[in-house]
Structure 1
Amino acid sequence: MDNDDRLRPGHPLYEEAMALEMTVRTLRRAQGKKNPEDVLYASPEWDVVSEEFVRDLYRAMGGNPGDLH
């Protein structure tokens, strides 16, 4: 396949997504919030923290977290 558009390291959109993710992680830590890697994977707390993280990430992309169900 000659036209490989998958996002991976080196692709500009991949780099942008990783920068956004790191920004959200840094802001959450500065606010005293936990990130998913700070809690036990698949625990009830991980579910809550992961959902909050996704909402913060969605907000950083310009979305309204209230629209997520």
Structure 2
Amino acid sequence: MRSPYEPDGDELTDDTVQRIRRWLAEHPQDRFGSAACPSERYGLIDDGIGTAFDECFPTFDSELHRTS
């Protein structure tokens, strides 16, 4: 969560991190239902999508993408 702020020298305080986490918890992605969008519908496979973004996930660490 902090890495997008670091290149500009901006500080992401612990208080701000807690506020972001609270907002994420209070606003789940599926709160209005889910909109299934299977990758096969667009001729894609999940492994290919993951591979395409392998470099992005470590750079832009997000709790939404974290698997552990």
TM exceeds 0.5? Answer: no
Q: TM-score, normalised by structure 1?
A: 0.27
Q: TM-score, normalised by structure 2?
A: 0.27
Larger helix fraction of residues: 1
Which has the higher relative contact order, 1 or 2, with Cα contacts under 8 A spaced 6 or more apart? Answer: 2
Structure possessing the higher radius of gyration over alpha carbons: 2
